[in-house]
Amino acid sequence: MGIDPGLTRCGLSVVQAGRGRAVLPVSVGIIRTPPDVELPQRLRRISVAVGEWMDDYRPDVVAMERVFERGNVSTVIHTAHAVGVLVLAAAERDLPVFMYTPSEVKKAISGNGRADKKQMTSMITRILGLSEAPKPADAADALAIAVCHCWRAPLIARTEQAHVALQKGKP
């Protein structure tokens, strides 16, 4: 499951990893919360919606964008609130959570860590063989995060296995 966290628009996606770099889209959507609703109610809406997605699709893992300061501290704080709710939903279901910076996702998907939204949407549409681009951009971003994780997961697993082997004294 890929998540592009946000308080007003939170992108959600579910993909199926195939052999090699093959990834199949399963579902993509957006959780929207109105800005005129109080923060606790907005967070509750996100919690309920992402919980339903997790219960319906039963992902093995959750990948999401890592929050970073973009120049607007208020936006970062609101996004961080949403991230807390999303991580908690995963933890309640014993799902591992992996976080990726926007530049890591951009580099994995487009080969360019500074790719713009248009390039990213075009690439994810092509990679997944979609007939049309996912909209809004938060949905495309959620798919990109999921694909990024699918492509990085084998290396992550090998690294963890090597770490465990080293701790047991096996080279």
132 is in an annotated binding site: no
Amino acid at 36: D
Q: Is 56 annotated as a binding residue?
A: no
Which residue reads 């704080």 in tokens? 77
Rounded to 5 degrees, φ, ψ at 125 are -65, -45
- Is there a catalytic annotation at residue 65? yes
Residue 157, C-beta contacts closer than 8 angstroms, at least 6 positions apart: none
Is residue 5 within 8 Å of 64, Cβ to Cβ?
yes
CA distance 44 to 91: 16
One of 56, 60, 138, 141 is an active-site residue; which one? 138
Active site residue 138: yes
69 labelled as ligand-binding? no
**Out of 52, 55, 60, 65, which one is annotated catalytic?**
65
The candidate with the shortest Cα–Cα distance to 130, out of 20, 57, 24, is 24
Which DSSP string corresponds to 42-72? HHHHHHHHHHHHHHHH--S-EEEEPP---S-
Q: Is 4 a catalytic residue?
A: yes
Binding site: what residues are annotated? 4, 65, 138
List the catalytic residues: 4, 65, 138
Binding site for Mg(2+): what residues are annotated? 4, 65, 138
